Amino acid sequence: MNFRPRLIPVTAVALIGLTACGGSDDTTATDDSSRTVMTSIYPLDFITTSVAADHLDVVSLTPSGVDPHDVELSPQTIGDVQSSDLVIYSADLQTAIDEAVEQQASDHSVDVNGAADLISTGAEHDHDHGDGHEEEHEDEGDSDEVDPHWWLDPARMADVTQMVSDELSEIDPDNAADYESNAAALIAELDTLDGDFEAGLANCEQEDLVTTHAAFGYLAENYGFHQIGVTGISPEAEPSPARLAEVTTIVEDAGVDTIYSEVILGSDIADTIANETGATVLTLDPLEGLTDASAGSDYLEVMRSNLDALAEGQHCS
């Protein structure tokens, strides 16, 4: 693990205290070719694992089944961030990871948000279906907020895949050709996925897409839906009774007969509105993590199950 030519900043050493030099206890470093890349959230883990194949150890910083917006890192994990060869993350999504990167990995980290081309999808609130008066919802976020859920757009996934490939080639030039071809293969699959979404959702009777947290702004924009998230871009603990009543009214007025719940957050919020309105609840997975309950074993499979759910729930032909 000592092939890295970089120096550890003095400030970083001071901050990490006892975990400094974690790499010197070399029981895990079986050979010099074993480099470790840490990823912040499932979609980046999927991309990096796909591109790295068996050339690198890829470690996810978000444990399975945890709400990734609230992830916390142990001192041990923060030490691992420091001693890793590269941290691939998406800034402004997970505070604990932003802090760990800033303090321990500023010289060996890459933020993918540039390649992901984040924008404000502005889709979490809807005032058009109500009684015409505009209301402020200060507790539910600002609709100008940049949407961090870029991975729900296959084209953005492809752009980030290329960036990850370039970064892996930089830390491990010997295997650059493999990274490039693995990335090309994944990008081709993402292109196919995008085409299948486009074709499968081309003619839908229902444009209003009622989701639990507003994770599907890019997807809605891509395929012609209008997202109505019960909670905002971050899944706050509980929506207010007023917000639940508001979404219930929207569901009734717009003739929405299907609303969507999530695997990790559970279906309580969706069930509440479904009970009021008689709507059906289907699962739409924001792919912030993968669990045993996920409808597929990887990003591509779960996205295809999302496509099936949308085609059914939005009445697409």
Candidates 87, 115, 215, 282; binder of Zn ion (CB under 5 A) is 215
**Cβ 71 to Zn ion shortest distance, Å:** 12
116 forms part of the interface with Zn ion (CB under 5 A) = no
**Do residues 60 and 176 lie in contact, with contact meaning Cβ atoms separated by under 8 Å?**
no
Kindly identify the residues of this chain, within the stretch 262-291, that bind Zn ion according to CB under 5 A: none
Which residue stretch of 53-61, 117-125, 185-193, 207-215 sits at the interface with Zn ion (rule: CB under 5 A)? 207-215
Of 274, 263, 268, nearest to 313 (Cα)? 274
Residue closer to Zn ion, measured from CB, 115 or 215: 215
Q: Cα–Cα distance between 30 and 151 in angstroms, integer?
A: 34
Q: 264 Cβ partners below 8 Å, 6+ apart?
A: 65, 66, 67, 288, 289, 291
Question: Minimum CB separation from Zn ion for residue 308, in Å?
Answer: 21
Number of amino acids touching Zn ion (CB under 5 A): 1
Pick left, alpha or beta for residue 278 (phi over 0 → left; psi -120 to 50 → alpha; otherwise beta): left
Q: How far is the CB of 135 from Zn ion (least distance, A)?
A: 24
Q: Which is nearer to Zn ion, 169 or 231 (CB)?
A: 231
The nearest distance, CB 141 to Zn ion, in angstroms, is: 12
Name which of 215 and 219 has its Cβ closer to Zn ion: 215
Q: Which is nearer to Zn ion, 163 or 215 (CB)?
A: 215
CB of 57 to Zn ion, least distance (A): 27
In whole angstroms, what is the distance from residue 43 CA to residue 94 CA? Answer: 14
In the complex with Zn ion, which residue's Cβ is closer, 22 or 68? 68
- Residue 182's identity, in one-letter code, is N
Nearest distance, CB of residue 263 and Zn ion, angstroms:
13
CA distance 62 to 87: 13
Considering beta carbons, is residue 211 or 277 the nearer one to Zn ion?
211
When CB distances to Zn ion are compared, the closest residue is: 215
Query: What is the closest distance, in whole angstroms, from the C-beta atom of residue 118 to Zn ion in the complex?
Result: 13
Q: Which residue has the tokens 């970089």?
A: 6
Q: Pick the piece of the chain touching Zn ion (CB under 5 A) from 29-37, 208-216, 238-246, 256-264.
A: 208-216
Return the amino acid letter for 187: I
- What is the token pair recorded at 178? 């493999």
From residue 159 to residue 198, what is the string marking binding to Zn ion with x (rule CB under 5 A)? ----------------------------------------
Question: Which one, 118 or 215, has the nearer CB to Zn ion?
Answer: 215
- Contact residues toward Zn ion (CB under 5 A) are 215
